[in-house]
Amino acid sequence: MKKLHYLTLIALIMMGLSGCEKGKVANVATADAFVQSIKNAQGAAVFTVVHSVFSYNTMTSVKVTAPDGTSKQLTNYENGGNSFYNEPVDADYSATLPVAGTYTYLVKFNDGEEITYTNALSSTNLLPATITSLAKTADGDSVYISWNALTNTHAYQIKVTKGTTEVYSSAPFVDNSTPKKLNLKVGFSLLNLTSNITGTYTFSIAGLLYETTAYDYLQAISTTTQDVAL
């Protein structure tokens, strides 16, 4: 399974701090737990839990405790102390859903203050979408990706990478058609994606499900990837 990078997706939960300003003195953070699903090498859906804690103030450590009492330290991926989360590896995924219930986050800020936050995780999840087509057009100017729609998703997000370099990331978008489409299709100009650099590109389709219609905290993300030579 390909390693997945969550910086773009996790930025979505920053909306939960929309009422806070950078200059605010009080230590405030948001904590979110959501179910991440991908397809394993055999094409079966597997699941794990992703944790993300964000603050406009500097944090020095974050420990998360699951409903079953197990705990782990989250990693400071931003280096500035504003964002802590776990990026799952292959061994973290399982055919079994993550433990549902309330997760507790012990956040330590740079002034030494410790504050506890919680976020409830339900068993609701999204299965990864099925990519039905990913190919260049006959004239070679564009590439189109098609996938089967997810019935319970709030939004989709597309990301394109070449190796470890992200070359495109869309804002979350929704299917506003009535009735909703059974299959979705998005096209890209090849020149905008590749800048005349040929090679293998990885397209990622993410389905996003939020906890509420406020669209701030995430409940589940499903991700499907496929490579194409451009």
Contact (CB, 8 A) for 106 and 72: no
* pLDDT given at position 60: 94
Q: Considering the entire predicted model, what is its pTM?
A: 0.83
Tell me what pLDDT residue 132 has.
97
What is the chain's pLDDT, residue by residue, as a tens digit (230 residues)? 444 444 444 544 444 444 444 555 689 999 999 999 999 989 999 999 999 999 999 999 999 999 999 999 999 876 688 999 998 999 999 999 999 999 999 999 999 999 999 999 999 999 999 999 999 998 888 999 999 999 889 999 999 999 888 999 999 999 988 888 999 999 998 888 877 788 899 999 999 999 888 888 899 999 999 999 98
Letter for the amino acid at 196?
Answer: N
HEC profile for 57-101?
Answer: CCEEEEEEECCCCCEEECEECCCCCCEEECCCCHHHCECCCCCCE
Domain architecture of the chain: domains with CATH: 7-121 (2.60.40), 131-208+223-229 (2.60.40.10)
Q: Could you tell me if 35 and 70 are in contact, meaning their C-beta atoms sit under 8 angstroms apart?
A: no
Count of other CB atoms within 10 angstroms of residue 26:
9
Question: Rounded to whole angstroms, what are the CA distances from 80 to 11, 61, 64, 105?
Answer: 15, 12, 20, 19
